[in-house]
Homo-oligomer: A and B are copies of this chain.
């Protein structure tokens, strides 16, 4: 039986044994638990476990604020209020555990979010899968001139093709050399019975940064939203956005729909007006025009403001 088939069977098996629980349960999340969402060319995200839902947030807030929360008539309203006013601790009362397969260069960005629990597949103990991230042609953009950390504009067809070949060839050659040095394949097959292989912890250093790794990642909802705030943003690298987008719209939306709405309203799609920008808008609303030169904003800030509010 192939590796893929074994995995599918395991998921089918896990999904075939419902148990009884007295805990808070999210029917919508149960419908997708264990099932992988595909991301990029070989990556995935799947929910392994969770704790709490929107009602658990409300319950925790009511423990804190006691009768103080009675005035807010419903759960959705209370969650909006908590989100708007930085009452973050109730959102920490929900927890989720994900199984994620992702390229190493993305794992390096991801791990910078420190308030999470992680168990990563160890290439000191075991042999990594022969899977590398190769971008789609349409994502092979050139370096942005205005944004030092971004991409922008496309390459020539010829260059795109050539670079994709480089990426593919180099990853494959380096993986083949990895197996050669190990003197062993991932399936356990020994390449040459008469000789010893290089230790795993050393052989792996030959692999490229687009090699896939995998981990279990467990995080509370407040910190997950902060991760999504930074990584679902257009300034994040496209490849991590792809993961954030799935977590937000396929998982969080199902798990805690009221929180999802409040998060979009007050964080993801909100606009933080600086003190100076607030003053400019105030003057504008009174009919006074303020020019860029007198605005107190720098060019970048000015452009962002006028674009967002459709003013000149």
| Chain A interface mostly | mixed
The range of chain A's interface size is 35 or more
| Residues of B with C-beta under 8 A to A122 | 64-66, 68, 149
User: Shortest Cβ distance from A229 into chain B, in angstroms?
Assistant: 8
A163 located at the interface, meaning its Cβ lies under 8 Å from any Cβ of chain B in the complex: yes
Of listed A25, A155, A166, A199, residue having the most chain B CB within 10 A: A199
Name which residue of chain B comes closest to A235, CB basis: B85
Verify A270–B275 contact, CB threshold 8 A.
yes
Mask, A53-67, CB within 8 Å of B = 1, is 000100011011111
| Residues of B with C-beta under 8 A to A196 | 142-143, 153, 155-156, 159
Mask, A61-97, CB within 8 Å of B = 1, is 1011111110100000100100011100110110101
A305 to B139, CA, bound (A): 41
| Residues of B with C-beta under 8 A to A163 | 181, 198
Stretch at the interface among A1-9, A211-219, A244-252: A211-219
Q: List 18 A-B pairs, Cβ < 8 Å.
A: A17-B22, A18-B22, A20-B21, A21-B23, A60-B119, A61-B119, A65-B126, A68-B125, A69-B125, A86-B230, A92-B218, A93-B117, A125-B149, A126-B148, A141-B198, A205-B208, A269-B275, A270-B274
Pairs of residues from A and B, 10 with the lowest C-beta to C-beta distance, nearest first: A66-B126, A68-B125, A151-B199, A68-B148, A92-B117, A269-B275, A142-B196, A205-B210, A114-B114, A124-B149
Given A21-B21, A66-B121, A93-B97, output 17 extra A-B contacts at Cβ < 8 Å: A18-B21, A19-B21, A21-B23, A63-B214, A65-B148, A86-B230, A89-B118, A105-B204, A107-B108, A124-B149, A125-B148, A142-B198, A163-B181, A174-B174, A272-B272, A282-B309, A286-B310
